[in-house]
Amino acid sequence: MIGTLLLLILCGMLGCTLGKDKESKGKFSTPVLDVSEQQLVLEANQTLRLKCRGRWELLWALPSGVTKENQTLRVDESRCGKRETQHCSTLVLSHAKARHTGSFRCRYRHKQQKQAAVYVYVRDSQRPFVRVQKESPELMFLKEGEPLIFPCKVTWPDAVVSLIKWQAPIQTLIPDQKNIIWNSRQGFIIRSPSIVHTGLFSCEIKVNGVKHLQHYITHRPVNEILEVYLNSTRPVQTLQGGRLALNCTVTAPLNSRVTISWSYPGTANITKRIMPGKSQIMFYSILSISHLRKSDRGAYTCHVRNGPVHRETNTTVIVYDEPFLRLKHRQGSVLHASAGQKYYRLTPKLRAFPPAEVIWLKDGMVAAEKCSRYHAEGSSLVIRDVAEEDAGVYTVLTGIQQFGLYRNITYSLVVNVRPQIGEKAVSVQDPGTVQRGSRQALRCTTYGVPPPKIQWFWHPCPPKRNTPAPLA
């Protein structure tokens, strides 16, 4: 009895499952259009009317040339069927244009993979191509392992279109439906393009004796980056409210498809430029900020990508609240140098923004004008071939005139001179033999900085040795 009950319960469960599967795979499991053809051909300015029916709520996917804001487009939703359990949607497109050519698809809102579609051609003898030709040829890139598609789709299915390659010798590529395929809904498809498919191409069609063309330039991308640099790789210092302009320049071979992007802390304007040359292309990306704020402080990185190749360069932007000038001694105010040194550098601690003007004085006179051996390098003063006369008082004057900021400090430079004995430089006669017990005066004249100390030492003469008598 219990077994029979369990069997009935299981059968009931299986029956429900089978019922649900049958329902999901039954009528209207996919929306249904009121047209049986896979394609429709309308004349320009005719009205397109499509009705779609389904079990659940519906929506339409339209060709790119048809926008929902189009005033000639209307979509009416309603419930339909004997018991109004079904959903119906009617699409009406009045005054159809060539640009409306494409696939019209009716989908379930919650199951968009379930759809019914019809391709609609809107024939227009004045506009045989769906897409409008731009002023310059459309740029297309050959990618390894991918087909090359010239998107010159047309507004009627039996249009006769030619694909022309303009590089000498000019030739018309004939579709063989193997490597070169013509499809009125896509255009010309080259399944396995090679280097011979680079250059200027055109899709051509003649209507009533009038020739219509769409031009394309194809390039084979080169994945190489030759050089990347910023106009400022050192930290950029500026004041709040000032302007910033960073230029990222990239050099790459011809046929390169370089993309440049930035990462930065605040907000900025980006402008781009390309300058082709004979053998290379220069890509420019300029980041600019017209009014800097504290939030703009930080790292600015230029990212460059050419296919799989990636490079980057960066700099740091420092934004100061206000100008400043700080000046102090680095190793005290009294300095020592030695006569004969090849060079000696006086370097104070200077921090300023904007950069300060620096002037060095020697004993109250401009140092560079006083001696040709004095040379200013940044905030330092370099003395070449140091001599005794370089000793004195040095003053460094700094100032930012624009903001009325001035600072100065003074150094005392002592030039040490090696001790010298004057008598060593003068030829002195040997005093010879002097009488025992007599009084003699010896003089030692010295000079040096600081003054040298003098010490006398007596070195007694070595005793005479007895000379052995000669042998007889």
Among 168, 171, 193, 189, which Cα is nearest to 180's?
189
- Predicted local distance difference test score (pLDDT) of residue 399: 96
Looking at residue 451, what DSSP letter applies?
P
Q: Do domains 227-320 and 324-419 have the same CATH topology?
A: yes
Residues 279, 1: Cα–Cα separation, whole Å: 92
- Predicted local distance difference test score (pLDDT) of residue 198: 87
| pLDDT digit string, tens, across residues 133-150 | 877 899 888 877 899 999
- Predicted local distance difference test score (pLDDT) of residue 12: 42
- Predicted local distance difference test score (pLDDT) of residue 432: 66
- Predicted local distance difference test score (pLDDT) of residue 172: 92
Looking at residue 438, what DSSP letter applies?
-
- Architecture of domain 324-419 in this structure: Sandwich (2.60)
Per-residue pLDDT of the chain (472 residues; tens, 9 = 90+): 444 433 443 444 434 433 343 334 557 889 999 998 999 999 999 999 999 999 999 999 999 889 877 788 999 999 998 888 899 999 999 999 999 999 999 999 988 888 999 999 999 999 999 998 877 899 888 877 899 999 999 999 999 999 999 987 889 998 988 899 999 999 999 999 988 888 899 999 999 999 999 999 998 877 889 999 999 889 999 999 999 999 999 999 887 889 999 999 999 999 999 998 888 999 999 999 999 999 999 999 999 999 889 999 999 999 999 999 999 999 899 999 999 999 999 999 999 999 999 999 999 999 989 899 999 999 999 999 999 999 999 999 999 999 999 999 999 999 998 888 777 766 555 656 777 778 877 778 777 778 888 888 888 877 766 656 555 4
> In this structure, are strands 405-421 and 334-338 parallel, antiparallel, or unpaired?
parallel
Please compute, for residue 253, the number of CA atoms within 13 A of its CA located in the half-sphere on the CB side. 9
HEC string of 64-88 equals: CCCCCCCCCEEEEEEEECCCCCEEE
CATH superfamily of 32-123: Immunoglobulins (2.60.40.10)
* CB-CB contact of 201 with 163 (8 Å): yes
Kindly state the helix (H) or strand (E) to which residue 392 belongs, with its residue range. Answer: strand 392-400
Extents of the domains making up the chain: 32-123, 138-219, 227-320, 324-419
Was domain 138-219 assigned CATH 3.10.105.10? no
What b/e readout covers 386-422, taking b as 16+ CB neighbours within 10 angstroms? bbeebbbebebbbbbeeeebebebebebebbbeeeee
Phi then psi for 374, rounded to 5 degrees? -95, 130
> Residue 299's beta-bridge partner residues?
316
Q: Is the pTM of this model over 0.75?
A: no
Instruction: Tell me the CATH number for domain 227-320.
Output: 2.60.40.10
Which token pair is 310? Answer: 């990636």
